[in-house]
Amino acid sequence: MKLFLISSVSLSAVLVILTLNNTSVHTEELSGSHSHTLANYEMVMDTVPEFPYQKTEAEWKEILTSSQYRILRKKGTEFPYVNEYFDSKKDGIYVCAGCGQKLYDSKHKYKSGTGWPSFWKPIDDSLVVELEDKSLFMTRTEIVCSNCGGHLGHVFDDGPQPTNLRYCMNSAAMKLVDRDKLPEVAQN
């Protein structure tokens, strides 16, 4: 497999991955890591935005738990119904586990029946970024932290009024903090 950086612009870089017949690739899924073979694909393109708070992979591994790293940095997903916040009714603010940026208010959380913490809106739209996710042979809308780019989960259009949105998040990607004890947002 060859990686080519085709172009770089101020807010994004286009990464092109050329694959040959029977090239193996590594992916993360619910139950862990798996290898797959791409036999018929000639080119895969992915747009990778740049985020204000940057760390090396080694630095992320130092500051995050293994579960947080797998979800935030490797776009993993935790199992439903056995994660910390899926049924939490505690009041507070959900912040990014990677950088401390506030993301969701517990007042916007609702029981979606999916087994993951679900919200009908973020505190502010500028705190999260929507990215197209074409993994697992489908198209979804991925949600990442706008400060560190950490993978939080996905948004779907089957939520309650007034937005009709369901922000389905991974518990390990967030920390629930008291409203009066918000951490400082990490900056470079």
Residues 63 and 149: beta-carbon distance below 8 Å: no
CA distances from 106 to 9, 30, 63, 111, 159 (A): 37, 26, 25, 11, 16
Residue among 101, 183, 184 at smallest CA distance from 147: 101
C-alpha 81, offset from chain centre? 18
Terminal CA-CA length for the chain:
33
In 55-178, where does DSSP find H-type helix?
57-63, 66-72
Q: What is the 8-class DSSP label of residue 138?
A: S
Enumerate the active-site residues: 168
The sheet carrying 2-8 orders its strands as 2-8, 12-18, 43-49
Bridge partners for 27 per DSSP:
34
